[in-house]
Amino acid sequence: MLPADEANLAAHAIALITWHRLQKFCGLCGAETRPESGGNARLCNDSDCANRIFPRVDPAIIVLVAHGNECLLGRQASWPEGRYSTIAGFVEPGESLEDAVRREVWEETNIDVGSVHYHSSQPWPFPASLMLGFTAIANSREIHLNDGELEDAGWFTRKELRSGFPKLPYRLSIARRLVDDWLEDGSAP
C-alpha cells in the first residue's frame, strides 16, 4: 500500500529492528552490545574486545528457467492450492551466484542449467534476505525432485500461464516479475 520510497524505508527499518533484537550479545566474548552509528552498527561493551557488528544480508537466488517455449515452475506443499513459482534458494558460503542458480535448480528439479543472466533484485527483510533474480536456459528437460523441497514441478507454456492455471506468485514479488517479463517476451525462448 506504500509508495516505493516509503516501502523501501519500511523494509530498511524492519530489517534493522529485527537485527538489533538478535544481536544483544557479542559473538566473540559474550558481553552485551550497544547500538552506534545511528543504529547501523553495534559495538561490544567490553572495551578490550570492542567487536563491531554490522547488519547481515543473506543473498538468495530466484530464477526463471526456460527451455524452448516453456518455463520451469515448482510448488511447495505449504503453498495455496494450485500456486506455482520460480525456483529459489539461499546462496551458500563461498559460492558464486551463478553456481547457486545451477545448484538450486539441480537440487530441486534435476534440471541442468546452461547460461545464466542477471535480471533484477528485491530486498526481503523477513528477516534479512536479498532476492537476486536471474533468467536461465535449461540444457535438459527431465524433472526429478531430488531434495524433496518441492511437491511438484513442471514445464509450462505461455498459453498455459495466461489461462489461469497454475496460479502465479503475488503481484509485487520478484518471482511474478520474472514470470511476467518472460510472458511479455514471447519472441524469445
Residues that bind Zn ion (CB under 5 A): 26, 28-29, 31, 44, 46, 49, 51
Shortest distance (Å) from residue 33 CB to Zn ion: 7
Q: With respect to Zn ion, which residue has the nearer C-beta, 49 or 97?
A: 49
Q: With respect to Zn ion, which residue has the nearer C-beta, 19 or 124?
A: 19
Q: With respect to Zn ion, which residue has the nearer C-beta, 30 or 68?
A: 30
Shortest distance (Å) from residue 42 CB to Zn ion: 10
Residue ranges of alpha helices (H) inside 57-166 are 97-109, 158-162
Q: What's the rounded Cα separation, in Å, for the pair 135 and 105?
A: 12
Q: With respect to Zn ion, which residue has the nearer C-beta, 11 or 31?
A: 31
Shortest distance (Å) from residue 54 CB to Zn ion: 14
Greatest alpha-carbon span in the chain: 65
3-class secondary structure, 42: strand
* Of 92, 104, 98, 107, the residue nearest 59 (C-alpha): 92
What amino acid occupies position 90?
F
Strand partners, 137: 66
Shortest distance (Å) from residue 17 CB to Zn ion: 22
* Of 113, 5, 15, 29, the residue nearest 64 (C-alpha): 113
Q: With respect to Zn ion, which residue has the nearer C-beta, 31 or 41?
A: 31
Shortest distance (Å) from residue 47 CB to Zn ion: 9
DSSP string, 51-73: -EE----EEEEEEEEEETTEEEE
**How many CB atoms neighbour CB 107 within 10 A?**
16
